[in-house]
A and B are shown apart, each in its own frame.
Chain A
């Protein structure tokens, strides 16, 4: 007798569709587990875009030139826009549960919904704003580039729009970092300090490495074609794409063990502190509480605007 759990005919047909390369739409039948995984992934992505606007927003009033101020304002607006797009995708998926965007925000404030580790970090200098654009958005595009092939069509379509704008964000960040790298010794030191500060967080961004075995969650998401690569594969791509560029600016990566195997091409590196990672994403990072507090206050103070907007149709 087979030890496999039984799956229904409907689910078997669903998996067959995925294997054919079919993409799923919001009103197609889907296994509840598929819906749950997507809602979790897309809500985390959505609130990370929204919380991700905050570290850079701190630099809008202090940007060094008018041009930089306009550009970083445009980027911050884009990030909030990405959040809006993704919240719509999540809302359509949550409809059978009777849930809306209010539930997403409540889950965020209550700590039930996490946002990406990088957006819990402090941004003490202008170079941090540059590193976010260049390397944090760079890391995000590696993950989102994978998700372009996600089996859920509305998410894939949202990501096409998002990734296109990320291209602008990355170049905006590169431009800031190159200007600092070519600048005064003080500016170069500021850039080096920012890189040193952000390096562990950048590695954490992709999530803990898989040991020999994948978690059931990951296996399920691979089976559902929600994702196609492991955390470690994505992190390896990040190294291949950026280590050389970082070093070409004469910057030092704070990891003496970092090296690429000449034969396997695999990067060896110092693991970041994964206990610290878990603390950070559980809202005990350097700026977690301040940023959540700001988001909560803004949400509460904006309640009357949402009320008015909801009534606008009956005016």
Chain B
């Protein structure tokens, strides 16, 4: 039977002021104040925190895995640096072999663009 005097509180803590609050665990408590006391006693007997939050579980709205099911199916290399790993080698190469300002070069290194001018 559910104890009507109690609620479940999810606990979040921040270990230093530049970090986000991270979910720790949860406690059952009769009030937010009680939840804070229990959270501190349960999870912070050793570790330090700069900020501790408790949130009543039924106040949390969430998106589950099902909602994001299709998300992973689309590759998004154009949003990441994955395709740009080659840049490091190029910069190193040109540091050692600077391009000539007046060189009449044609691409041999496979850039993305084709000959292009604005209309």
Contacts and interface: CB of A to CB of B under 8 A. Distances in A.
Interface of A: 22-23, 25, 62, 64-65, 67-68, 70-71, 74, 124-126, 153, 156-157, 160, 167-168, 171-172, 174-176, 178-188, 190, 244-245, 247-252
Contacts, number: 105
Given A70-B78, A74-B78, A65 B112 contact: yes
Given A74-B79, A245-B91, A187 B116 contact: yes
B79 A180 contact: no
Given A178-B111, A185-B105, 16 more contacts: A62-B118, A67-B112, A157-B20, A172-B84, A174-B84, A182-B107, A183-B111, A187-B113, A187-B116, A244-B95, A248-B91, A248-B95, A249-B99, A250-B101, A251-B101, A252-B101
Contacts of B3: none
Contacts of B18: 23, 153, 156-157, 160
B103 interface: yes
7 closest Cβ pairs, A-B complex: A179-B111, A250-B99, A70-B78, A171-B84, A23-B17, A248-B94, A250-B101
B78 A175 contact: no
Interface of B: 17-18, 20, 76, 78-81, 83-84, 87, 90-91, 94-95, 98-109, 111-118
B78 A64 contact: no
- Majority secondary structure, B binding face: loop
Nearest to A184: B115
Given A157-B20, A182-B107, A184-B107, A167 B81 contact: yes
Chain A residues touching B, majority SS = helix
Contacts of A65: 112-114
Contacts of B113: 64-65, 68, 126, 176, 179-180, 183, 187
14 contacts: A65-B113, A68-B113, A70-B78, A71-B79, A74-B78, A168-B81, A175-B84, A175-B87, A176-B113, A178-B111, A179-B113, A182-B105, A187-B113, A244-B95
Contacts of B20: 157
A248 B81 CA distance: 22
A71 B112 CA distance: 12
A245 B95 CA distance: 7
Contacts of A181: 99
A188 B113 CA distance: 12
Contacts of A252: 101
A5 B100 CA distance: 60
Nearest to B84: A171
